[in-house]
Amino acid sequence: MTYLELLRRDRLPHILCEGCGDGIIVNALLEAIVELGLPREKLVFVSGIGCSSRIPGYLLFDSLHTTHGRAIAFATGIKLANPELKVVVITGDGDMAAIGGNHFLHAARRNIDMTVICSNNYNYGMTGGQVSPTTPRGWRTTTTPYGNAEPPMDIAKVAAAAGANYVARWSTASPLQIKESIKKALTREGFTLVEVLTQCPTAFGRRNKLRSAVDMLRWYKENTVALHHARELEEKGVDLSAKVVVGEFADRDRPGLVRLLGLVKEEKEEEKKEEPPAEERAARRREEEERLRKARKRILEAIAKLGTPKIRRMIELGMDVEKIEKELLKHAR
């Protein structure tokens, strides 16, 4: 199977602009799926609104193209209703960090089993290039004509802090790392996020002196710093505030929500394996009870031989032991 077979070729040509970075993401994603050999019918793609959210419409899988910001909430329903499905959300910075910010935070907190691929192009490309929650300070967009005054959100760090199991960030200048991270994310339990810094020369770059895709990719190459280097450099006192740190921000193995809710099939089988000792315990208890019952019966029979006909009848009728005892004491006296 090649990744070309995973495209809805009857939908081509696509609507994405020349030079868009989403093609690099699709490439990395489909190669990851092919290399992992994931069965097509068990994958579901969910997206919201925006350029990257159009991607599932070109993939030959079950796909749900939803409303702005809500993809993760829809995906939550899909995953919990059928935990056998592998749910992949394709979203963007505006869709996930702005209008869908709350769903994003809570999905990471729940550690719900899904993979989110966030195409972060620093702006709202579909509507023509407005400021987004990730636009760096000072950069120009159509709604920040004098430069963005607001500090941006660090999506990867927020996801890691909120509780996601696996979080990685790469730029489209390093497609191999994107693919490897997607593979890791797809095979990991819990909430996994791959943030991809992507170029949008059409709506964003040209307003910031980065007119072509090549300019933007070069900018990413020059301005991204790998996480381990960043730590070393910071220790040496190098100022990295103008750089973007890339790498793996979380790599944990906490149980996902599906397991926490007891919806995993293997877990039920494990429970069954644990059951035999419990059954053995019950059998032993039954044996012990039977032994005691027989001993009690023998004692009562012995007493009956000694006692009066009344006592014998009381024992035969299985009357209260205390009453029999009283009668016995009376007889003994």
Partner 1 sequence: MSHMHGTRFLQGNIACAEGAIAAGCRFFAGYPITPSTEVAEWLAQRLPRVGGVFIQMEDEIGSISAIIGARWAGVKAMTATSGPGFSLMMENVGFAAMTETPIVIVNIQRSGPSTGQPTMPASGDVMQARFGSHGDYAVIALSPNSVQEMFELTVEAFNLSERYRVPVFLMADEIIGHMREKVHLPEEVETFTAPLSRRGARYYFRPDPKTLVPRMQVFGRGYNVHVTGLTHDERGYPATNDAKVHAKLVRRLVEKIERNAERIIRVEGHHLDDAEVVLIAYGAVSRSALAAVRELRAKGIKAGLLRLITLFPFPERLVRRLARRARLVVLEMNLGQIRREVERCSRRRVHFLPKLGGELHTPREIVRFVEALK
Q: How far is the CB of 60 from partner 1 (least distance, A)?
A: 5
CB-nearer residue toward partner 1: 76 or 148: 76
DSSP three-state, residue 143: coil
Tokens of 41: 């019918």
* Contact between 77 and partner 1 per CB under 8 A: yes
Q: Which residue has the tokens 């987004």?
A: 132
Alpha helices, H only, the chain: 22-36, 71-81, 93, 101-110, 155-162, 175-187, 213-223, 227-235, 257-260, 265-306, 309-316, 321-332
Contacting partner 1 (CB under 8 A), which of 34, 38, 60, 153?
A: 60
Contacting partner 1 (CB under 8 A), which of 52, 66, 135, 172?
A: 66
Give residues 118-157 in contact with partner 1 (rule: CB under 8 A): none
Q: How far is the CB of 59 from partner 1 (least distance, A)?
A: 9
> What is the rounded CA–CA span in Å between residue 169 and residue 197?
7
Alpha helices, H only, 257-320: 257-260, 265-306, 309-316
Q: How far is the CB of 279 from partner 1 (least distance, A)?
A: 23
Contacting partner 1 (CB under 8 A), which of 29, 55, 63, 311?
A: 63
Residues 24-43, mask of contacts with partner 1 (x by CB under 8 A): ----------------xxx-
CB-nearer residue toward partner 1: 85 or 227: 85
> What is the rounded CA–CA span in Å between residue 109 and residue 107?
5
Counting beta carbons within 10 angstroms of the beta carbon of residue 274, is it exposed (0 to 12), middle (13 to 18) or buried (19 or more)? Answer: exposed
> What is the rounded CA–CA span in Å between residue 300 and residue 321?
10
CB-nearer residue toward partner 1: 94 or 201: 94
* Contact between 73 and partner 1 per CB under 8 A: yes
171 neighbors 195 (Cβ within 8 angstroms): no
CB-nearer residue toward partner 1: 19 or 48: 48
Contacting partner 1 (CB under 8 A), which of 7, 78, 260, 303?
A: 78
Interior angle at CA 230, CA 229 and CA 235, nearest 5:
100
* Contact between 8 and partner 1 per CB under 8 A: yes
CB-nearer residue toward partner 1: 58 or 249: 58
Give residues 251-280 in contact with partner 1 (rule: CB under 8 A): 261-263
> What is the rounded CA–CA span in Å between residue 32 and residue 314?
81
* Contact between 17 and partner 1 per CB under 8 A: no
Binding site for partner 1 (CB under 8 A): 8, 10-11, 40-42, 44, 46, 56-57, 60-67, 70, 73-82, 84-85, 102-103, 105-106, 261-263
